[in-house]
Each structure stands twice: as structure tokens, then as C-alpha cells.
Chain A
Amino acid sequence: MNEEASEPRHPDELAGMDPTGGLDEILIFGSPETRRYFLKQVAGTSAAIGLGPALMGIGSVEAAESTATPGVASAVVTKFQLKINGKEHILEVDPRTTLLDALREHLLLTGSKKGCDHGQCGACTVLVNGRRINSCLSLAIVHQGDEITTIEGLAKGDELHPVQAAFLEHDGFQCGYCTPGQICSAVACIAEDHTKNDAEIREWMSGNLCRCGAYPNIVAAVKEAQSKTPAKSA
């Protein structure tokens, strides 16, 4: 550590300093930018500014490459493809990477949330081949060839998915952290036809915890979204 950096600074000196160390001038053109957008910009240009390999390997492709990777050792980055929200992505990650970390840290799809990271809270819920799963307990590499849908893939352009609209209408959240998982779970819950009454909705939504306790409004939102969903033909 150099001596200059360890010298305590006078508060007056700090007042005018740029807390980003000038990064924003390099990377953010135009304002205002959100913190998340800033972080995505940083990650997106990581090769240029040398943030390291952890954030590299982001890419989308049109043509499929071989995805069979038998005998891949972790700590060695491996390359494979995932189809997320209808789009193919190439990942170059350690085989230890969970689907949740692949989405959030590598593909910058930060809608899926990391709550407990142990399959106990449901904040990471995504749909794989139409079925809801906890993406935190699933390795990304096992999902080659699967159709993965995240919260980012539910709306059609500016038109919200009926479950998203119902959560807004019924205030199905307070802090909002569990909401992407709740919504993905609710989409599946309705598709599974587990919404006959409040008790059934509560039971079949029990894999998604809400520490703010918005449960009555979540149940109301699921009921309304269900009523607006065309019944499945038997």
C-alpha cells in the first residue's frame, strides 16, 4: 500500500472527490443512469478495462455450436449454450456456476433474485420447459437444450404479462425483492391449475416466502390473473 493512500484526508478534501474514481466519466455517457445500468455497463466493457475473467464470456449467438461437454473439470472455464427467453446465449463459465449465477452475474439478467441461495425462499424461481424451479440449486451446465424463462421474458414488449399486471393492481409486494420469484411461481401455479381457492393458492405458492408479508395481496393477484387466463382445454 502506498503511503499517500493511507494518509487520512481532511473532510473538505473528500467533498469534491469523485467516488467512482473517474469510472463514470469513462463509461457513462449521458445521465441520469441507474446504478444497475452502470454496473451492467462496467460488466459489458470488462474486457476493455480488465475487470477479470469472472465477468467475461457474455455473448449471444445465432448459430448453435456443439454443447456436449463430457468430462469438464471445474476451475477450467467451459463453453456451452443456454436458451433464455427465446434467445440463445453462449456462456463461458466454471461448471460450478448455478443457473441463478449464470443469469445474474454472466448474462446480466438480474431480475431473478438471490435470497437464501439454498432453495428455501423461492426468490430465484424461473421456468424451465414451463416448470418452475429454484435456479439457485441447479447447475447452469445441466440446462443445455432447455427453454428457460425468467421474469424478463414474461412481458410482450410494453405489455405486461397478466400476472405482472395483477401484482401491480393488487399491490402484491412491499419491498419487491421476492416479486420476480413470486410472479414466475404464480405463472406456473396458474398453468398447473392449482388455483381453485385461496387455500390451494396458499399451499401451491408456499415455496415463495415474502418477508414483508404481502401474502393476502399476492393471493388476490394470483386469483385475478387466473380469472383472466383462458381455461386450459381438457
Chain B
Amino acid sequence: MNPFVYSRANDAAGAVTAIAAKPHTKFLGGGTNLIDLMKMGVETPAQLVDITRLPLAQVEELPGGKGVRIGALARNSDVAEHAIIRQRYPLLSQALLAGASPQLRNMATVGGNLMQRTRCYYFYDPAFPQCNKRNPGSGCGALKGYNRIHAILGQSDQCIATNPSDMNVALTALEAIVRVQGPKGEREIPIADFHRLPGSTPNVDTNLKEDELITAVDLPANSFATRSHYLKVRDRASYAFAIVSVAAAIEIDAGKKITAVRIALGGVAHKPWRAQKAEQQLVGKTADEKTFRAAAEAELAAAKGYAHNSFKIELAKRSIVRALTTVAGMTS
């Protein structure tokens, strides 16, 4: 691990001042990803600002029934177990509990989970010379390497890494708003605009600026609580990253017509993938397997596989069908 300056912030303004004051500063939350990447030599911050004591760990109702605000430092385990989240946003609770291990969930924060970096082998291990994300311009080791866990949607010839988070997939389906604070004040970033596709700058994961602190995530009120599901397909039953995951939520009227639907995919792209094509196909149609399959086909029509991950295209389609079948079969 490289040497760094350690300091502790007492409030959000202090944290923002500290990160703006010194180049190559990182905020330290739960540390589950950052400390690991520092051990690997992938992250080499000059300063760590410990933000774990900031008063940003609450889960609270927004006034006027507008939804719920989750503090950026709320631990993944606390959010997953919180009564309001379990009751109104069970999709988020399920996604969080599908991720990592109890120990890691006790450490990992909501803000840190948003900032989680890819688990692409070529990014994570500096022994590999090629990685445009770690070392811009060096090439992509995964394109012609071992790419079983890599992207099938939205990738570029510069990078085929995936976002590894489960939480981010649920937040995408729930149309969360990320609240951030910078030197010029606060701003809101819709989750769809928070993470980026790789394009020609895969070294930039998100649209968060380097001097901004995530303070909270807002979940708008919705009526999906009784019909939502997080399906995670992985190589072992627990404690593994998703090969493909689906966050699905649906509303169906008395005549079995779909009135509203949200679908987001994990493990398939550089960002949590909102399945808008599938959603557009589904609204107004009858909720049955044939409809679900057609929507899945539409969403994956543009998918592209590589030497070891082409299986993900069919897997993603089947996972969409299974998740939608599950939520359609739920009794509201």
C-alpha cells in the first residue's frame, strides 16, 4: 500500500474542503473496496479523508410522502434490515442482502457501494499491463483475454468491464436520486446519469466530480412494493458477484394488463442497465410468458458477446422472463 495522509472529517463541509485542498484525495467509508484496491496497488491516493463519523447514516421519510432518504454512510446491512425499506422497497433490501457477506455488508456504505469499481481481472491486478480503466491508453486486456464476467451491452472497444454492484441495479429500477455536495453546494444526480458507459474514457466510472461527496440517496415513492423481485444468477449460491441479475417491479390491473413496469439488469454492462426497450414493449400488454420473452428479446437484440461470455445473452433473456414471471405471480 502506498503512503498516504490520513485525516478525519467531522462534517460534510469539512470533508469537501479536505478533498478539494489536496490532489489525489479519496474519501474513506467502509473501505471494503478502496482498501482492497490500495493493497493491490490499483488505487494510490495521496490522502484519505475518513468520513465514517459524519452524521449521514439515517434512513428517514421525506416530507409529504415523497419517499425515503438514505444517508450515504448508512451501512448496507442496516439499510437492508430497516423496517421502512423492507416494507416499501423490498427490492432494495433483497438486492443488498444478495451482495457480499454479512461482514462486508456491516462495513460497506451506500455511498461506497455506488462508487464500487469493477471486478474485471485485468483492472484489479496491475500485473496485467493492459487496462484502459486503470491506465488510459494501455489497451483492454479483457477484449481478447478471459472475459466470462464481462459486458454484453453498452461496451466499447476500449473497455468491456461491468459494474459489480447489486444495490445499484435495484436503485436503477427504483429511479433513485443521488444527492451530492461539492464546493459550490448541493446537486442531485438521477441514478441513470450517475454511472457512465465506458466510451473512450473508461477510466471515469461516474459523473460524480472529484471534489464532490455523496450525502444521500433518495428513493421516490412508488407502488411497486408488493410486486418486485431481485433475481441474482451467480456461480455459487451465496457470496459471489452476479453473472446476470435482474431487478423487476410490475403493476398489473384486474384484466392482467401491465400498467407499469421497471426492469434493470446487473452484470451485463459498465453501468446498471435500465431495460427501457423491454419496459416499452410490456406496458399495456397481458402479463404472460410470451410477452415477457418478446420483451427480453427486444432488450438483448443489440447485445454482443465475446469468447467466454456469449452465454450471458441467453441467460439475461431467461433471467428477465423468470423475474417478470415471479413478480406477475405475486399476490398484491
Interfacial residues, chain A to chain B (CB-CB below 8 A): 68-75, 78, 94-96, 98, 117-119, 122, 125, 131-134, 137-139, 141-142, 185, 188-189, 192, 194, 202-204, 206-208
25 A-B residue pairs with Cβ-Cβ distance under 8 Å, sorted by A, are A71-B7, A72-B6, A73-B6, A74-B3, A74-B5, A78-B6, A95-B48, A96-B3, A119-B32, A119-B36, A134-B103, A134-B107, A137-B107, A138-B31, A138-B107, A139-B6, A139-B28, A141-B6, A142-B50, A142-B52, A188-B102, A189-B102, A204-B102, A206-B239, A207-B103
Establish whether residues A71 and B101, one from each chain, have CB atoms under 8 Å apart when the complex forms: no
Instruction: List B residues 82-123 near A (Cβ within 8 Å).
Output: 100-104, 106-107
Question: Known contacts being A117-B39, A137-B35, is A72 close to B7, with CB within 8 Å?
Answer: yes
Q: Min CB distance, B326 to chain A, in Å?
A: 19
Q: Which residues of B contact A185 (CB under 8 A)?
A: 102-103
A141 to B55, CA, bound (A): 19
Q: Which residues of A contact B1 (CB under 8 A)?
A: 96
A221 to B41, CA, bound (A): 39
Q: Which residue of A lies closest to B5 (CB)?
A: A73
A203 to B80, CA, bound (A): 15
Given contacts A71-B6, A134-B103, A137-B31, 19 further A-B contacts (CB under 8 A): A69-B8, A72-B7, A74-B5, A74-B6, A95-B4, A117-B39, A119-B32, A125-B103, A131-B77, A134-B32, A139-B28, A139-B48, A142-B52, A204-B102, A206-B237, A207-B100, A207-B101, A207-B104, A207-B239
Q: Which residue of B lies closest to A128 (CB)?
A: B106
Q: Which residues of B contact A194 (CB under 8 A)?
A: 102
Q: Min CB distance, A145 to chain B, in Å?
A: 9
Establish whether residues B28 and A132, one from each chain, have CB atoms under 8 Å apart when the complex forms: no
- At the interface, yes or no: B200 with Cβ under 8 Å from chain A? no
A110 to B304, CA, bound (A): 50
- At the interface, yes or no: B238 with Cβ under 8 Å from chain A? yes
Interfacial residues, chain B to chain A (CB-CB below 8 A): 1, 3-8, 28, 31-32, 35-36, 39, 48, 50, 52, 77, 100-104, 106-107, 237-239
Question: Known contacts being A138-B35, A139-B35, A203-B238, is A133 close to B3, with CB within 8 Å?
Answer: no
Please list the 9 inter-chain residue pairs (A to B) with the smallest Cβ-Cβ separation, ordered nearest first: A207-B101, A206-B238, A95-B6, A74-B3, A75-B3, A206-B239, A70-B7, A71-B7, A131-B106
Q: Which residues of A contact B52 (CB under 8 A)?
A: 142
Q: Which residues of A contact B32 (CB under 8 A)?
A: 119, 134, 137
A50 to B282, CA, bound (A): 73
A73 to B104, CA, bound (A): 27
Q: Min CB distance, A102 to chain B, in Å?
A: 14
Q: Which residues of A contact B103 (CB under 8 A)?
A: 119, 122, 125, 132-134, 185, 207
Q: Which residues of B contact A142 (CB under 8 A)?
A: 8, 28, 31, 50, 52
Q: Min CB distance, B90 to chain A, in Å?
A: 17
Q: Which residue of B lies closest to A95 (CB)?
A: B6
Which of A71, A74, A192 is within 8 Å of B102, CB to CB? A192
Establish whether residues B104 and A119, one from each chain, have CB atoms under 8 Å apart when the complex forms: yes
Q: Which residue of B lies closest to A76 (CB)?
A: B3
Q: Which residues of B contact A94 (CB under 8 A)?
A: 3
Establish whether residues B107 and A96, one from each chain, have CB atoms under 8 Å apart when the complex forms: no
Question: Known contacts being A139-B28, A188-B102, A207-B239, is A98 close to B35, with CB within 8 Å?
Answer: yes
Establish whether residues A74 and B239, one from each chain, have CB atoms under 8 Å apart when the complex forms: no
A96 to B39, CA, bound (A): 10
Q: Min CB distance, B194 to chain A, in Å?
A: 24
Q: Min CB distance, B1 to chain A, in Å?
A: 5
Establish whether residues A96 and B106, one from each chain, have CB atoms under 8 Å apart when the complex forms: no
Q: Min CB distance, B113 to chain A, in Å?
A: 14
A24 to B229, CA, bound (A): 63
Q: Min CB distance, B38 to chain A, in Å?
A: 8
A73 to B3, CA, bound (A): 7
A78 to B7, CA, bound (A): 12
A139 to B30, CA, bound (A): 10
